[in-house]
Amino acid sequence: VLSNESAAKLLGLAPEELSGYPVSELLSAPSRPEGADALRGPLESEEAMLQPPGGEPIPVLLSANPVRSDDGRERGMVYVARDIREIRRMMEQLHELAVTDELTGLSNRRYATETLDEELSRSLRYGRPLSVAILDIDDFKQVNDSHGHALGDRVLETVASALAAGTR
């Protein structure tokens, strides 16, 4: 029935254009099989998707509370949606930092070990072969000790680049 300017701006509409849109066409709850019907209140910080007309879905934290008349009957709902796109971007960046070696851009040891465990389980489950290659740079410590860490880093970057180009 009513919307504020922030909601209309987030959806890329004028507030008067937003009036009359059914909530079920603007919101979805991907984690709930019942979809938009699950978004009836009360809800507190439920993750949902806001679907602007003709635009890309926007991840939001949604709160919803019923509006009741004096006799206790539900007359409507008040929805508050908080845009979490920036939070999602930061979470992706943190994940990337947690699983990637800063110098080479390749998976770090912890992530490689986790991935190897998952791939080994998948290989056993589906009876598919799995290949693992282990690479060692002979006397690499000597490169660092005699030519410095800057050159050692360049060697690692060159090897990593070649590995990345030749593998998935």
pLDDT tops 60 at residue 6:
yes
What confidence score (pLDDT) does residue 32 get? 57
Looking at residue 155, its pLDDT comes to 94
Helix (H, G, I), strand (E, B) or coil at 17: helix
pTM of the model: 0.62
Residues in the chain: 168
**What per-residue confidence (pLDDT) applies to 2?**
75
Pull the structure tokens for residue 16. 């008067």
Confidence of residue 22 (pLDDT cuts 50, 70, 90): confident
Measured from the Cβ of residue 27, the count of other Cβ atoms closer than 10 Å reads: 22
pLDDT above 70 coverage of the chain, percent = 92
Span 62-87, pLDDT tens digits: 888 888 899 988 888 888 889 999 99
Q: What is the 3-state secondary structure (H, E, C) of 32-60?
A: CCCHHHHHCCCEEEEEEEECCCCCCCEEE
Identify which of 101, 57, 76, 99 has the alpha carbon closest to the alpha carbon of residue 19.
76
Direct distance between the N- and C-terminal alpha carbons of the chain, in angstroms, rounded to an integer = 51
pLDDT at 29 over 70: no
Reference 17, options 48, 55, 49; nearest CA is: 55
CA angle, 51 then 85 then 81, to 5°? 55
The rounded distance, in Å, linking the Cα atoms of 85 and 82 is 9
How high is the mean pLDDT of the chain?
A: 86
**Predicted local confidence at residue 149, as pLDDT:** 93
Reported as type and span, the H/E element at residue 128 is none
